[in-house]
Amino acid sequence: MRILVVGGAGYIGSHVAKSLLDEGMDVRVFDDLSTGQRINLFPKAEFVEGSILDKNALEKAMQGVDGVVHLAAKKAVGESMEHPELYAENNLIGAVNLLNAMVTQGVKYLVFSSSAAVYGMPQYPKLDENHPLNPINFYGFTKLEMERLMQWYDRLKGIKFVALRYFNAVGYDAGCNVRGLEKKPQNLLPVIMETLVGQRKEMFVFGDDYDTPDGTCIRDYIHVSDLADAHVRALRYLSAGNESQSLNLGTGRGNSVLEMIQTTERVLGKKVNYKMAPRRAGDPAVLMAVSDKATQLLHWTPKQSDLENIIRTTWQVYRLHYPNA
C-alpha cells in the first residue's frame, strides 16, 4: 500500500510514518512544517512540503496513493478557545479540502487522528464509544465535526474511515528514530522533562483536592508507538473491506499527576521542581478509556505503555538535545 501521512513530520505523525515503513508500506509525508520538523522525516519516505489549506497541493500529493492518515490538526485546547478562527480554518476547512481531494483522486481509505475531547466532561470515569459526545472546548468541537463530515462522505462518496480517539499520547520510539521535541508542549510529561533539563524553572500541578487517592487528576497515558501501531492496523482493517468506525485508544489504566512526577523522579533519579496551583476550569478528576472495540476490530493491544517505559523513552530523546542535564 502507498499511504499519504498528512502531518507526518509531527510528533505522532512521524511515529505513524515509521510504523508504516516498518510494515513495508510506501509512505509519502505531506506537512507544512509549522509544528512538524525536518528532523522527524525518514529517508525512505517521500516528503512533500505543503499545507492542507492549499487544495492543489493536496490533490497533487494524493496522486497514486491507496489511503490517507490525517494528523495535521491544531491541537492546543486553550488556544482553540482564544483563537477559534485558526482552528476553524485549519481543522475544519483543511479537513474539507482533504476529503474533497480524496474524492477527486479516488482515494477510499482514511485514518483520522481524533481525540477523547469529543466526549467533553465524563459522565463516568472509563469512557467507551457509547459515551455522549459533548465537547467543552473548540478543539474538541472541530474533531467531532470532522468525524461527522467523514460519516457523510462515507455515505455519499464511499470513503471509508477509522477515527481513532486518542487519550494521552506520551513516550518516544525506543530506538530514538524520532528525535524532534514538540514545540511549546502543554502536556504533562514534556513539561516535566522541560523542568528537568532547565527549560522551565518550575512546573505547576493544577489542583490537589480532586476526589482521587492523592488529590490530583488521573489520566490514561498511552505510548505513541502503541498509537502508531493502531494506525497501521486501521489501514489494514479498511483495506480488507470493513465498515467505518470511531474507536478509543487508551490503556484503561490511570496515573495521577503526582504519580507521574514521583515515578519520573524514581526512574531517573532526579528531582522535579513543582508547585501546587489552583484547579484549571474544565479539568475532570478522572479520564480513562475503554478500548475493547479497538481490540476486537483491529486486534490491537497496547504493549509499550507501562509508565517506566514511557518515561525512559521520553528522557532518552531529551538527553540527545540536553546532554548535560
Which cell numbers hold the place of 199?
A: 527549560
**Is 139 considered catalytic here?**
yes
* Closest C-alpha among 73, 76, 66, 111 to residue 89: 73
In the 8-state DSSP scheme, what is residue 283? Answer: -
CB 225 within 8 A of CB 16: no
* Closest C-alpha among 290, 288, 220 to residue 248: 290
CB 42 within 8 A of CB 36: no
Q: Which of 11, 119, 139, 166 is catalytic?
A: 139
Which cell numbers hold the place of 128?
A: 467507551
Q: Determine phi and psi for 116, rounding to 5 degrees.
A: -65, -10
Buried b (16+ CB within 10 A) or exposed e, 90-112: bbbebbebbbebbbebebbbbbb
Could you give the residue numbers annotated as active site? 139
